[in-house]
Structure 1
């Protein structure tokens, strides 16, 4: 998508994109967004944290801006690397835990075991699946700035949240995060390739953004595949047409609902093909 002059005034944070450890310019955007806040306490939280450096949204804050940090990672081997990388820094607190949305697994419960302030500066959520559910469950803590991963194959119009299951890795749409953010009193201020960045609504005016709808702030939609049906019943696709993490194409012929010889406008079919189409409908209803 081309950024117009009107859009530029709403997407200006993207001009500060810079990667030190992050993937899509988040280090620079987060740094600038934090500068815009009238008050800061220099605390941040990230999970799953990996080794604390790989594709991290917080390592730059720790190493170059003297931030205190809570790193949460569920893989014990990665936690050991975390401790090795940051064991010299008393401001970094690695924790081997899985973050969820119920009971002792909620972020509220886990952070209650630390000295972090209730309204700490920055929270990074990136767990490739239940990100929406984890953020939804945060009630006692109120970070000023929150970055949450969304599934970049989902369009801006789609309001989708995966089932709350650890075994499922689908993620959520940006629209779903936008809706949740408003419910929790947060406003969307920037969108990178697969992250939405939100600020506590009481700081929103400082950013001078007058249109923060996801379709305005999201300039990269190149991973979205659109599917539609012709009048003849044939499924057609435009857009990315790939499985980005699996690195395989989505073949149009593989997603057809009815056989090729039945793909025609119904009024132009003879009685034999109409009967066969009726049989296909019956089979589809039975399978459902």
Structure 2
């Protein structure tokens, strides 16, 4: 059998995100397309860092090391998302008849390319099929016995189309004003609430909102097109963060795991829209129409509107249209409001979808990743009687695992950080006088942790303990005996793998950034923490999708339906890169390169208590006395 090869051209859209660009480029490099077209926007004049970031993203493209026809369409000025993507794709389809399209934050499964190539060939001359997407937002529900189904929604986080379809695209949406005054949307969507929702969306796009994709959806609908969507998710959006253009807030659509498409593909017998799947998409992704309760419907609609306002205020803040402190206050309130709406969905989505992993409930309000959602899920399903938390390693507490508990759940708590300046910033935050929060300046060690807690009258049972000190996490949790938390959230270092029970040697002065320049030598493996949790009476119930935080629940509180996981079941390998070179610059090391570094550094095997023969453990962090803050 002839091995499959990728003959379809690939289009990659990039801007100013070299970190995600590198990951997506690597996926393309593994597929080795014979033709690669790069579309790049230019730096924004009011963002000084853009020039460097855009150049770094473009430099990655110079690493093409396979036989490939490489075409570049780089803009020297910033055109914005709306004009750059639309003009770039128009240029691309002047060069090629069909193509697979990825943006710099859309990470595909290897089978995505073959899936697109086969369907591009199959439906090349079928005008009713406008595009092929790699996205599945059905959250585990299969809609058909086939490999894909047909939808009216053209999800564009990894997709493919033909020149014949893109020629129908009209960024200006000239046909919209006449259609808007007719019954076109109502007749098409058969629901007044849905029609009203999309009328507002198309109005916004027609008036020039800085996005290109709504005009593409409008073109597909206007020309009665269908989109082929896979029965499993083939592309994950890894770009939900502050650096994104639109996807700045965490979402249940962020970092959805990918699965392999199975070949040979099983094709639907007819070209017919899957009404059940599209009704689900409309409910959970867009307008919220036909939800089970009015409360849930209004919550999702309001969440979407608040997210639009959040994005608008953030844009004003960037442009300094309004005084910064006013914007920051408004953004914080909106951020909290969106989080409250997300929290109200936790019970509903469990009852409706019977989720069985904590990752299904991830959402981000103040946490770094999806920990806010996981914590809400655990709190709602455990009989927690003392709504008190302890968290250390919080910096200025703007990003933390417990801030949302404080604001949304009326919890009280103690936070600690080794920086006096950061503690001062916490006390300057209104959260300190508006809520029952104590902030303590302390460099936490295993010798002082119990004294620190006792000195603040924090003893006995508490609801949650969050440990993130980037170093002695295992040793500190092992030493804690004055508090008895119901939930423990603790960082693990996934680079140590799932098989070894290891941690960095204990050093009371350990600081990750000084222990080794690579920035990857810190903390403990998940297995080491799992064994410690077993000793202390805790069950591992999962890790976040980012692969850096583990969640433990006291066995006496764990419901029978909440599974106690093995290390292998709970382990998630972190994909985000944070390695540094000896000059402190991002090194973008591969997993294999990181392992080579870690193999040279001392680790303690907590199962055997074996410390490798090395003088290095005595050299970790030679901190000047003036830099120490130890209580």
Alignment-derived partner of residue 529 in structure 2: 177
Q: Is the 8 A contact 1:136 1:180 kept in 2?
A: yes
Q: Is the 8 A contact 2:579 2:588 kept in 1?
A: no
In the alignment, structure 1 residue 157 sits paired with structure 2 residue 499? yes
In the alignment, structure 1 residue 96 sits paired with structure 2 residue 441? yes
1:87 aligned to 420, 428, 432, which one?
A: 432
1:67 aligned to 411, 416, 423, which one?
A: 411
Q: What SS is found at the alignment partner of 1:129?
A: coil
Deviations 1:91-121 (A, max 9, x none): 101111121111xx12x21111223351100
Deviation at 1:190, TM superposition (A): 1.4
In the alignment, structure 1 residue 188 sits paired with structure 2 residue 527? no
How many angstroms apart in 1 are the aligned matches of 2:411 and 2:593?
A: 52
Q: Is the 8 A contact 1:16 1:28 kept in 2?
A: yes
How many angstroms apart in 1 are the aligned matches of 2:551 and 2:457?
A: 25
Deviation at 1:214, TM superposition (A): 1.9
Q: What SS is found at the alignment partner of 1:121?
A: strand
How many angstroms apart in 2 are the aligned matches of 1:79 and 1:24?
A: 23
Q: Is the 8 A contact 2:460 2:483 kept in 1?
A: yes
- Label 1:118 to 1:155 Cα distance change in 2 as closer, same or farther (>3 A): same
Deviations 1:62-115 (A, max 9, x none): 11111101011110000000111133235101111121111xx12x21111223
Alignment-derived partner of residue 372 in structure 2: 27
- Label 1:100 to 1:11 Cα distance change in 2 as closer, same or farther (>3 A): farther
Alignment-derived partner of residue 64 in structure 2: none
Trace 1:105-120 onto structure 2 (pairs within 5 A).
Answer: 105-106=448-449, 108-120=450-462
- Label 1:145 to 1:253 Cα distance change in 2 as closer, same or farther (>3 A): closer
Deviation at 1:188, TM superposition (A): 0.5
- Label 1:81 to 1:214 Cα distance change in 2 as closer, same or farther (>3 A): same
Deviations 1:126-166 (A, max 9, x none): 00000001100011211100000011222111211111112
How many angstroms apart in 1 are the aligned matches of 2:435 and 2:456?
A: 13
Q: Is the 8 A contact 2:401 2:466 kept in 1?
A: yes
- Label 1:148 to 1:253 Cα distance change in 2 as closer, same or farther (>3 A): closer
How many angstroms apart in 1 are the aligned matches of 2:511 and 2:419?
A: 17
Alignment-derived partner of residue 167 in structure 1: 510
1:215 aligned to 551, 568, 571, which one?
A: 568
Alignment-derived partner of residue 52 in structure 1: 397
Alignment-derived partner of residue 144 in structure 1: 486
Q: What SS is found at the alignment partner of 1:93?
A: strand
Alignment-derived partner of residue 132 in structure 1: 474
> Which one scores higher on RCO, CA 8 angstroms, separation ≥ 6?
1
Q: Is the 8 A contact 1:45 1:122 kept in 2?
A: yes
Which ranges in structure 2 are unaligned for 5 or more consecutive residues? 1-256, 261-352, 513-521, 581-585, 598-631
Deviation at 1:207, TM superposition (A): 4.6
Of residues 109-118 and 187-196 in structure 1, the stretch that sits farther from structure 2 once superposed is: 109-118
Alignment-derived partner of residue 578 in structure 2: 244
Alignment-derived partner of residue 204 in structure 1: 558
Trace 1:273-284 onto structure 2 (pairs within 5 A).
Answer: none
How many angstroms apart in 2 are the aligned matches of 1:123 and 1:214?
A: 20
Aligned residues: 229
Deviation at 1:36, TM superposition (A): 1.4
User: TM-score under structure 1 normalisation?
Assistant: 0.72
- Label 1:137 to 1:80 Cα distance change in 2 as closer, same or farther (>3 A): same
Q: Is the 8 A contact 1:10 1:212 kept in 2?
A: no
Deviations 1:236-265 (A, max 9, x none): xxxx9xx63323244879969xxxxxxxxx
- Label 1:3 to 1:75 Cα distance change in 2 as closer, same or farther (>3 A): same
Deviation at 1:221, TM superposition (A): 1.6
User: TM-score under structure 2 normalisation?
Assistant: 0.34
Deviation at 1:34, TM superposition (A): 1.1
Deviation at 1:31, TM superposition (A): 1.0
Q: What SS is found at the alignment partner of 1:204?
A: coil
How many angstroms apart in 2 are the aligned matches of 1:163 and 1:146?
A: 22
Deviation at 1:12, TM superposition (A): 1.7
How many angstroms apart in 1 are the aligned matches of 2:495 and 2:354?
A: 26
